[in-house]
Structure 1
Amino acid sequence: MAGSNSVFGTLNRIDLVTQIVIGLVLGILLGWLAPDAGMGAGLFGSLFVGALKAVAPVLVFILVMSAIARHQKGNEAYIRPIIVLYMLGTFAAAVVAVAASFMFPTSIVLANAGDVSTTPPSGIAEVLKNVLMNLVANPINAVANANYIGILAWALILGAALRNHGSDTTRQVVADLAEAVSTVVKWVIKFAPLGIFGLVASTVAETGFDALLSYAKLLGVLLGSMIFIALVVNPLIVWWKIRRNPYPLVLTCLRESGVYAFFTRSSAANIPVNMALAKKLGLHEDTYSISIPLGATINMAGAAITITVLSMAAAHTLGIQVDFWTAVLLSLVATVGACGASGVAGGSLLLIPMACSLFGISNDISMQVVAVGFIIGVIQDSAETALNSSTDVLFTAAADMGRNRN
């Protein structure tokens, strides 16, 4: 018993990020050296991601409702400037992706699309219609299906009703529920090293490294664009808001949010992590309890890059010349599509046919490009989610710090 307590005591003295790195290294080694055992270890990863996904909708619903119910008049939540940053960052990502695609034109070997069974949206109108339908979804279904647009809408409405008509006792009960759910989230996050160990072990065991080599240049353009946004464009945007060295904040968000998101590959699963980081940074709870789940819905810089780069690669493969104004239109379409389709199964990849239609590329061909996206998704989707999710808390912090500076 004493030995067991000693082990747990040693683990508690190691910070969580270091524990995650240890889990990452062990997962790679297990998946590489013992693939069968690596596949078995994937159960830990599935349980971890499943727990995060299960608690996230309840957390968002309760926290947002509690924040609105307890919100005092004159205590501004400061959401509008954050939305501006979200839109600016997503559009900048699409522009960078277009520029990278012109500088490093990439041809791809089209893959068999037989395994891609989900029907992509036919255009921006359908994407926006899906958003509006999600907005008025049944609240129970919204929580059950992790429909964050619907969850936010109902949390805002019920929170406003409680603020204006609820008793102090009822508001306190909601606040206590929010605290209880936050405690559950802390318990789940403590298992992150074990979960990431299982995720990495199973991924390496299942895919190896060979499948990615044939698409190395395409991955290079994708990852290069995402790294440029994360380490150059986002810091510039943050500096504009806070007027001081942005890199300590940028690197903190990448380390404490991006690492989780990279391995869980789910913006929804990373909402509790971002909430905890926002609290650790001392941000305004009325602000981050709304902006973080909102960012998981509309702040999609990584998705804009994926849509743009793969669409431009399809055009180059087919010998289609893309002029300047078409490239600008592609950036706008990628921005709106990435923001509006975050709840669609398959994420950003299913928006590629819509973007390819700007170049007159048929749906049959564009769905083969989607299949390529699924092949490289082990890396592409991980990096995309890390950029998307870490930027949620980054821009929330920048807006909050910028307000305090004024």
Structure 2
Amino acid sequence: MKNLILKWNQVSLVKRILVGIIIGILLAVTIPDAAEWISIFGTLFVGALKAVAPVLVFFLVMHAISKHRSGHKTNIKSIIALYGISTFLAGFVAVLASFLFPVTLSLGAGAEDVTPPGGIVEVLKTLLINIVDNPINALLNGNYIGILTWAILLGIALRKAADSTKNTLANFSDAISQLVKWVIQFAPIGIMGLVFDAIVTNGLSALLDYGKLLLVLLGCMFFIALVVNPIIVFINIRKNPYPLVFKCLRESGITAFFTRSSAANIPVNMRLCENLGLDEDTYSVSIPLGATINMAGAAVTISVLTLAAVHTLGIDVDFGTALILSVLAAVSAAGASGVAGGSLLLIPLACSLFGISNDIAMQVVGVGFIIGVLQDSCETGLNSSSDALFTATAEYAKRRKEGKEVRISA
């Protein structure tokens, strides 16, 4: 048994995850009544990732800032710019696709027990409140804006601390990173449980009535992942971007697709950046920040569903007004980390731009919940994989400008 486990661990994680996916599908088809004990593996895996991620971010960022050497440049500004460009372009692509392939909805679905933000001011207010959140409360609730704020401030305060204090921080960071590696080793079993639960609980029949809407949504997301993002990467590194793009999609996107949680995928992205040989001072900040503000998938969801409501109601909208929607979608998505329900609950905010009542907008949110099994999975996969993609892009661009060789392994 020990030799079998050792041989299993020697197989690449991606291949093991694919085996887990296949087993999950087979079990869902053959023994769906066993959901109670198989699904628990997925619940435990996501729970473990969510539990370790806030502590990992807190200590890694604090340690990275405290040991930051004067004159050592990070790429945070470049990465934030890439996040912003990608999110805006995602909204623009979604608007363009909605005009080329207009979708109408059969409104009537409900969205119960959800409260959308009342406006962009409320979204920004929530963002500011999260920044000044109590650090213990931020850690308990996974408020990454608050965690980042406290970690950065404490890291700056500890820059002049004794070496023994910094060594203690380093030891804590290393220990938590090791815990993350242990948790990730269980990804194949966890994803098997998640796949099993998704198929048994939701099936695919509920999605058939929304085929065209899903095609537009997912088509936009795949276009961004496989066309727009590679173009952004190529402009920056002047090399074939696809080895890096596929590596990020394979090692980050697949896990994010099944966990449906950017927060849970932070440890996965940290490990990917480490494997890519990136600067820890940079990715320890950019990855949790990206999980909060890099929301290309959310911008697509907000734009497509809002314009679907517009087409359904027969509202005449010119392209210029719709373009404003892509800007609103990008800004709202980036500032909505503290809003329960994610991108779907920002749809009423976007609908208000076209004078659509909140009652109708909430019916659109209800449609979003119905197709959420695929929409949210693809959205999270796009968002999370591009966090690692743009972190690597910024560092490779910096190396290119310095005349250093840039090697991208597939």
Deviations 1:60-104 (A, max 9, x none): 000000000010000112210100000000000000000010111
CA offset at residue 172 of structure 1? 0.7
Instruction: Report the Cα distance in structure 2 between the residues aligned to 1:138 and 1:12, rounded to whole angstroms.
Output: 40
Aligned to 2:355: 360
Instruction: Report the Cα distance in structure 2 between the residues aligned to 1:263 and 1:231, rounded to whole angstroms.
Output: 19
The answer on 1:9 being equivalent to 2:9 is: no
Which aligned pairs between 1:323-362 and structure 2 lie closer than 5 A?
A: 323-362=318-357
Aligned to 1:264: 259
Which aligned pairs between 1:110-189 and structure 2 lie closer than 5 A?
A: 110-113=107-110, 115-164=111-160, 166-189=161-184
Question: After TM superposition, which residue ranges in structure 1, 4 or more long, deviate above 2 angstroms?
Answer: none
Aligned to 2:365: 370
Instruction: Report the Cα distance in structure 1 between the residues aligned to 2:138 and 2:7, rounded to whole angstroms.
Output: 41
Aligned to 2:76: 79
Aligned to 1:281: 276
Q: Verify the 8 A CA contact 1:297 1:343 in the aligned structure 2.
A: no
Deviations 1:313-362 (A, max 9, x none): 11111111221221111011100010000231110000000001111111
Q: Verify the 8 A CA contact 2:295 2:334 in the aligned structure 1.
A: yes
TM-score (norm 2): 0.97
Instruction: Report the Cα distance in structure 2 between the residues aligned to 1:124 and 1:335, rounded to whole angstroms.
Output: 11
| SS of the residue 1:404 aligns to | helix
Instruction: Report the Cα distance in structure 1 between the residues aligned to 2:106 and 2:251, rounded to whole angstroms.
Output: 36
Percent identity reads 62
Which residue of the other structure, out of 306, 311, 332, is the alignment partner of 1:316? 311
| SS of the residue 1:214 aligns to | helix
Q: Verify the 8 A CA contact 1:31 1:39 in the aligned structure 2.
A: no
| SS of the residue 1:129 aligns to | helix
The answer on 1:247 being equivalent to 2:242 is: yes
Counterpart code for 1:148? Y
Q: Verify the 8 A CA contact 1:250 1:394 in the aligned structure 2.
A: yes
Instruction: Report the Cα distance in structure 2 between the residues aligned to 1:13 and 1:57, rounded to whole angstroms.
Output: 29
Instruction: Report the Cα distance in structure 2 between the residues aligned to 1:234 and 1:282, rounded to whole angstroms.
Output: 21
CA offset at residue 7 of structure 1? 2.1
Aligned to 1:109: 106
| SS of the residue 2:315 aligns to | coil
Instruction: Report the Cα distance in structure 2 between the residues aligned to 1:390 and 1:111, rounded to whole angstroms.
Output: 34
Which consecutive unaligned segments of at least 5 residues does structure 1 have? Answer: none
How many equivalent residue pairs? 401
Counterpart code for 1:285? E
Aligned to 2:408: none
Instruction: Report the Cα distance in structure 1 between the residues aligned to 2:10 and 2:166, rounded to whole angstroms.
Output: 37
Counterpart code for 1:15? S
Which residue of the other structure, out of 177, 196, 200, is the alignment partner of 2:191? 196
Counterpart code for 1:145? N
Instruction: Report the Cα distance in structure 1 between the residues aligned to 2:282 and 2:392, rounded to whole angstroms.
Output: 10
Aligned to 1:379: 374
Worse-matched range after superposition: 11-20 or 80-89: 11-20
Which residue of the other structure, out of 266, 291, 297, is the alignment partner of 2:292? 297
The answer on 1:45 being equivalent to 2:39 is: no
Instruction: Report the Cα distance in structure 2 between the residues aligned to 1:31 and 1:17, rounded to whole angstroms.
Output: 21
The answer on 1:93 being equivalent to 2:93 is: no
Aligned to 2:396: 401
Instruction: Report the Cα distance in structure 2 between the residues aligned to 1:350 and 1:296, rounded to whole angstroms.
Output: 18
Q: Verify the 8 A CA contact 1:110 1:369 in the aligned structure 2.
A: yes
CA offset at residue 39 of structure 1? 4.3
Instruction: Report the Cα distance in structure 2 between the residues aligned to 1:90 and 1:320, rounded to whole angstroms.
Output: 26
Calculate the aligned-residue CA RMSD, in Å: 0.9
